[in-house]
Amino acid sequence: MQKVLAIVGPTAVGKTALSIQLAQQFDGEIISGDSMQVYRHLDIGTAKVTPTEMAGVPHHLINIRDVDERYSAANFVTDATGLIDQISARGRLPIIVGGTGFYLQALLNNLTLGGDDEDQRVRKQLNTQAKRVGNQQMWEHLNQVDPAAAANIPVNNVRRVIRALEVYQKTGHRFSDQPQLATRQYDACLVGLNAERALVYERINHRVDLMMAAGLLDEARWLLERGGDTIPAGKGIGYRELFPYLTGAIDLPTAVAKIKQDSRHYAKRQLTWFRNKMDVHWFNLLQHPTELTAVQKTVTEWLY
């Protein structure tokens, strides 16, 4: 089987820096596994790697969609599969980096996903239903067909509820059973980065401040002019929280505080996902930099 290295974990723990270091050491190319970095023009809020940071390492699946275009897990699996073939054929190591857990799970565990037309049809039907009956009833329906998934999804997170129902409707299998039903098609090594929660949250808050200083508000204004939260890219954290400020509904400190809060909540969900859904080798490079040696040893033993 083809070998694939993946660098995972919550936001702001150093995945980008580690991925470039490992790519240089093991002759790799990086495939972004982030659902927002596919969008052009949104550089600050999605924390895209800069050309300087790339240090000559090829990066893929960044800036491949306009902000009004959808990008689904099915799209990612198709694109990433092709790239893994190409990178492997060049004798190099494919390295997937990102925090969108479902994308990585769908790829590595070969989950059954519908094509674009089917995705849109089923999702549109479920979204229409949710608007008609409300979040509570949608969650109760999920709880009937897949109680294990419902137990891990808040009632008010209608997007995740719909995603779980979508998988059930399209495949006939429960969302919570997908990892067990799937057959992995790659020899994958998953390296996870994490740190003490207080430190991760502190880094997230600081990152948001840096993003604001770098021009995040201008990106959000540009995105609002093109549709705001009515288009796919406008639903991303870091943008959707600024729209109410830009339309005069709230003040800027409130909007920034909301970005930080949503980012912290997202980091917690990311960590829970990777811990519960995937077999990951965990390291804490932020607080224990010497663990880099253990990371390199883990990858070397798996690769050779």
Q: What is the pLDDT of residues 195-224, one digit of tens each?
A: 999 999 999 999 999 999 999 999 999 999
CATH number of 199-264: 1.10.287.890
pLDDT reading at 277 higher than 90 = no
Question: What is the Cα–Cα distance from 70 to 169, expressed in whole angstroms?
Answer: 20
Q: At what angle do helices 116-133 and 135-145 cross, to 10 degrees?
A: 120
Binding residues for substrate: 11-16
pLDDT higher than threshold 70 for residue 183: no
Does residue 131 register a pLDDT over 70?
A: yes
Location of each CATH 1.10.287.890 domain in the chain: 199-264
Q: Which residues of 227-245 are buried (b: 16+ CB within 10 A; e: fewer)?
A: ebeebbbbebbbbbbbbeb
Residue ranges for the known binding site are 9-16
Q: In which residue ranges of the chain is CATH 1.10.20.140 found? A: 114-172
What sign does the dihedral 243-245-247-249 (CA atoms) show? positive
Residue 115 pLDDT = 53
End-to-end Cα distance, the chain? 14
How many angstroms separate the CA atoms of 242 and 258, rounded?
Answer: 9
User: Binding site for ATP: what residues are annotated?
Assistant: 9-16
- Strands of the sheet containing 93-97, edge to edge, are 59-60, 28-32, 93-97, 3-8, 187-193, 281-283
Range 163-188 average pLDDT: 74
CA 283 to chain centre: 19
Angle of helix 116-133 versus helix 73-89 axis, rounded to 10: 150
Structure-token match 């995040």, residue found = 216
Task: Tell me the pLDDT tens digit for each residue of 86-100.
Answer: 999 999 999 999 878
pLDDT class for 149, splitting at 50, 70, 90?
Answer: confident
- pLDDT > 90 in the chain, percent: 75
CATH number for the domain whose boundaries are 114-172? 1.10.20.140
Distance of CA 17 to the CA centre of its chain: 17
Instruction: Yes or no: say if 266 and 11 are a contact pair by the CB < 8 Å rule.
Output: yes
Write down the pTM of the prediction.
0.79
179 — pLDDT class (breaks 50, 70, 90) = low
Using the predicted structure, report yes or no on whether residue 24 has a pLDDT greater than 90: yes
Four-CA torsion 295, 296, 302, 304, nearest 10 degrees: 180
Q: What is the mean pLDDT of the chain?
A: 91
Q: Is the model's pLDDT at 192 over the cut of 50?
A: yes
pLDDT of residue 278: 87
Q: Is the dihedral of CA 1, 271, 46, 292 positive or negative?
A: negative
